[in-house]
Amino acid sequence: MKRLRNYYLNLRHPQSTMERKWIFPLAIGCIISLFLLFLTTLTSPVGSPFFSLSLSLHLSPVSAASSVFVESKLHALPIPSLPSPPRFAYLISGSPGDAKMLQRTLLALYHPQNQYVVHLDLESSPDERHDLHNFVKGHPIFNKFGNVKMINKANLVTYRGPTMVANTLHAAAILLKEGGDWDWFINLSASDYPLVTQDDLLHTFSYLPRDLNFIDHTSDIGWKEFQRAKPIIVDPGLYMTKKSDVFWVTQRRSVPTAFKLFTGSAWMALSRPFIDFCIWGWDNLPRTVLMYYANFLSSPEGYFHTVICNAQEFQNTTVNSDLHFISWDNPPKQHPHFLNLNDMSRMVESNAPFARKFHPDDPVLDKIDAELLFRDRGMLVPGGWCIGSRENGTDPCLVVGNATILRPTAGAKRLQLLITSLLSGQNFRPRQCK
């Protein structure tokens, strides 16, 4: 028994010695692990992926591994963003005596995002041209953004001949070369005036496909076939330094068969791709049509319309509207009525962004400024980019913020109603050029 006991004790002593050898490292390891866990909880913010992953690894290795596997397959949902605002390129043209009205229209249309070309007819007096030049160059905001250009080498423009088309193409070429990125080209005269702010217009057009062309057009030329298409006229404004009326050639011509004639309003908002096509003319159609319309009476009411509706690439991009409120005789004559205070309600109800024609300084312009544009005389139309104060009659737009921030007004809602109607299934459909 004693031997068995001694044998038993001899067997236990080595095991006890071995246990004592492992107790200390095990204790040290546990202490270090607890210390590291404590540091992890202090340095990892609550709710962070690292904190959650560390805690789950310590508490439940199986569920942690499963969690990591699932998380690797999840992706964050993209944050919806508003469409970037477009940019407009404006041509604002004036006749002799229009310099002051042209300045007012420019102030009412201005936005830092846009580009502007100003043209005053070559027949204007040197003093008038000098005053307009000083106004453009001297305005602090125009000077800051450098987005208003005056055509110094002015053109003679006779509105019954092709010189207006030539002037429009001249301005478009300048804007393509020097105007940077823009999306729509809009031609206006000094007797046009906006009925919505530029923030309203930019906001609404942000949601539109940028290949749309707003151009009033029809192939039903009616009486114009006999009175405009068949006669041949010559415009001395193309080659003379002094303006004179067009003169007529005795011989008449047939209606073209190589392309179909279209007619419509001379005022339009054309897409950048279509303007590129008109200037570059890669299939020669724009040049061929331009040569034909060089002898066409009132060619601004037919040139762009005929080009776009005979170009397969663009004929499905037309929206049949000139975006204007115009008061015509019935039947319409060559020139519309001048608008006044009696037309105010009809202008607003039309939901159009522009109206014409106006006499310079007509009281209705002050009413439009006050009620639709929120603009004081001599100032810019306020928008999201204007962050200055109105104290002491100061123009808030003299202090500039982020030019991409838009602050649309009730005018945007009116304009949206118009665009929705124009793009409805009843009004907008493929192959509108008929």
Residue 206 pLDDT greater than 80, yes or no: yes
Alpha helices (H) along 193-328:
198-205, 224, 272-280, 285-293, 303-310
DSSP-derived letter for residue 386 is: B
For 160, the 3-state DSSP assignment is: coil
Instruction: State residue 270 phi and psi, 5-degree precision.
Output: -110, 145
CA distance 344 to 327: 12
Instruction: Please indicate, yes or no, if residue 293 is contained in any of the structural domains.
Output: yes
Residue 253 structure tokens: 């011509």
Cis peptide before 331 (omega within 30 of 0): yes
Q: Which residues pair with 88 in a beta bridge?
A: 184
More confident residue, 200 or 432: 200
Tens digits of residue pLDDT in 254-292: 999 999 999 999 999 999 999 999 999 889 999 999 999
CA distance 142 to 267: 25
CA distance 59 to 61: 7
Domain residues for the domain of 121 are 88-380+410-422
Q: Own/partner pairs for 137-146, CB < 8 Å, 24+ apart?
A: 140/398, 141/110, 141/112, 141/380, 141/397, 141/398, 141/400, 142/110, 144/400, 145/112
Kindly indicate the confidence band of residue 412, based on its pLDDT and cuts at 50, 70 and 90.
Answer: very high
DSSP-derived letter for residue 330 is: S
pLDDT of 6:
44
pLDDT of 329:
74
Look at the block and give the residue holding tokens 């002898």.
295
Tens digits of residue pLDDT in 19-77: 444 445 555 555 555 444 444 444 333 333 333 323 233 333 333 334 444 444 445 54
CA distance 39 to 309: 74
Average pLDDT, the chain: 84
CA distance 296 to 263: 12
In this structure, the dihedral spanned by the alpha carbons of residues 345, 346, 352 and 354, taken in order and rounded to 10 degrees, is: -80
Instruction: Please indicate, yes or no, if residue 319 is contained in any of the structural domains.
Output: yes
Q: Are 260 and 174 in contact (CB under 8 A)?
A: no
Residue 4 pLDDT greater than 70, yes or no: no
Kindly indicate the confidence band of residue 395, based on its pLDDT and cuts at 50, 70 and 90.
Answer: very high
Number of domain units in the chain: 1
pLDDT of 32:
53
Of the candidates 149, 205, 138, 206, the residue with the CA atom closest to the CA atom of residue 175: 149
pLDDT of 92:
98
Q: What percent of the chain has pLDDT over 70?
A: 80
For 161, the 3-state DSSP assignment is: coil
Residue 16 pLDDT greater than 90, yes or no: no
Q: Is 412 exposed, middle or buried (0-12, 13-18, 19+ CB in 10 A)?
A: buried
Kindly indicate the confidence band of residue 243, based on its pLDDT and cuts at 50, 70 and 90.
Answer: confident
Residue 14 pLDDT greater than 60, yes or no: no
Which residues neighbour 401 within 8 Å (Cβ) at sequence distance 6 or greater?
384, 385, 386, 387
The model carries a pTM of 0.80
Instruction: Please indicate, yes or no, if residue 110 is contained in any of the structural domains.
Output: yes
Inter-helix orientation angle 410-422/198-205, to 10° = 40
Instruction: Please indicate, yes or no, if residue 28 is contained in any of the structural domains.
Output: no
CA distance 302 to 300: 6
Kindly indicate the confidence band of residue 224, based on its pLDDT and cuts at 50, 70 and 90.
Answer: confident
C-alpha 203: how far from chain center: 8
Mean pLDDT of 401-416: 96
For 373, the 3-state DSSP assignment is: helix
Instruction: Please indicate, yes or no, if residue 71 is contained in any of the structural domains.
Output: no
Phi-psi region of 31 (alpha: psi -120 to 50; beta: other; left: phi over 0): alpha
Please give the angle made by the CA atoms of 195, 197 and 202, to the nearest 5 degrees. Answer: 120
Tens digits of residue pLDDT in 318-369: 999 999 999 987 666 667 899 999 999 999 999 999 999 999 999 999 999 9
Instruction: Please indicate, yes or no, if residue 9 is contained in any of the structural domains.
Output: no
β-bridge pairing 354-356 and 193-194: antiparallel
For 361, the 3-state DSSP assignment is: coil
CA distance 395 to 155: 34
Q: What is the CATH number of the domain that holds 324?
A: 3.90.550
Instruction: Please indicate, yes or no, if residue 225 is contained in any of the structural domains.
Output: yes
Instruction: Please indicate, yes or no, if residue 54 is contained in any of the structural domains.
Output: no
